Amino acid sequence: MFALLALASAAFYGSADFLGGLASRRANTVAVVVISQGAGLLALLLSLPLLPESIPTRHDWGWGGAAGIAGGIGVALLYRALAVGTMAIVAPITAVCAVVVPVVAAIAFGERPQALTVAGIGLALVAIVLVSQQPGNADDVPTFRGRGVATAFASGVAIGLFFLALAKTSAEAGIWPLVAARAVSFGLFAAVALAMRSPIRMTNRVAAMTVSGGVLDMLANLLYLIASRYGPLSVVVTLASLYPASTVLLARTVLGERLSATQVAGIVCALAAVVLIVGAR
């Protein structure tokens, strides 16, 4: 059961990224983030009565708030990258960076990675070079100048910091750290929207995509949390980290995005790197 929940979480994460990126192509990115974050927060609050009682500490609230800042920035950058770049390239880059960041942090604090982790990091570097190579490059030399690539890197780092912050919270806190994280991220980007005087209005179709993306993202978080309570964490995280596959599938099916053979190989390497790094840990 936990494996199915983790796979469902990956599917929802990837679907949320696709909808958020698609909405950002048709509306202001800040507006998309504000509405999606608000929709996710509302969905999370409505689910609280259905979940077991938990008691968060000040420690949990603090790390949840820090996770909200990092996660909100990560999502905003991800939506921007998905809006201007190729979804099937942006999603794997972000996923790989989001996994590498916690691994590097663990090494810095004295953890010695297993051979599979080292292999995964090396494969991730190869994957990033491959997926960043743009079709039609006359010299057939990998380039990192593709639209959205740099933003995808930054997004992955921010999301990795989000994972690190959430890891500092206690199991007894339940989902309250997620509530704190989403409340902070929503408040942060609502303030940004006001300061920038960003237009929040969008068409009904785009608004529906935005709200759906926010709800799917929060549903993915809840499914992941439930799965981690019942199954081995390494297996659950590995399965949940396969979310770029659904983003790529949706991008190819709905948008008709086409990739070169080199980029396809890069996507395969990226997904394999996520499995190696997270599975080894």
Span 181-196, pLDDT tens digits: 999 999 998 998 898 8
What pLDDT is attached to residue 133?
62
Could you report the per-residue pLDDT of 13-38, keeping only the tens digit for each?
A: 889 988 988 888 888 888 898 999 99
- Residue 160's pLDDT band, with cuts at 50, 70 and 90, is confident
Nearest CA-CA partner of 97 in 23, 149, 50: 149
188 with 69: CB under 8 angstroms? yes
- Mean pLDDT of all residues in 170-180: 87
Q: Which position has the token pair 């491959």?
A: 130
Residue 84 sits at φ, ψ, to 5 deg, of -105, -15
- What's the rounded Cα separation, in Å, for the pair 116 and 276? 6
Measure the CA–CA gap between 263 and 255, rounded to whole angstroms: 17
Using the predicted structure, report yes or no on whether residue 103 has a pLDDT greater than 80: no
CA distance 149 to 81: 7
Helix axes 176-196, 29-47, angle to 10 degrees: 150
Q: Which band of pLDDT confidence, cut at 50, 70 and 90, is reported for residue 141?
A: very low
The range of the structural domain enclosing residue 187 comes to 2-280
Report whether 149 contacts 82 (CB < 8 A).
no
pLDDT at residue 229 greater than cutoff 80:
no
Q: Residue 235 — very low, low, confident or very high, per pLDDT cuts 50/70/90?
A: low
The Cα 48–Cα 142 span in angstroms is 48
Number of domains in the chain: 1
pLDDT for position 129: 67
User: Pick from 14, 17, 71, 40: which is nearest to 218 by CA?
Assistant: 40
Which residues, other chains included, contact 46 with Cβ-Cβ below 8 Å and sequence gap of 6+?
none
159-194 in b/e burial notation, b at 16+ Cβ within 10 A? bbbbbbbbeebeeebbbbbbbbbbbbbbbbbbeebe
Please give the model's pTM, rounded to 2 decimal places: 0.78
Structural element, H or E, at residue 267: helix 261-280
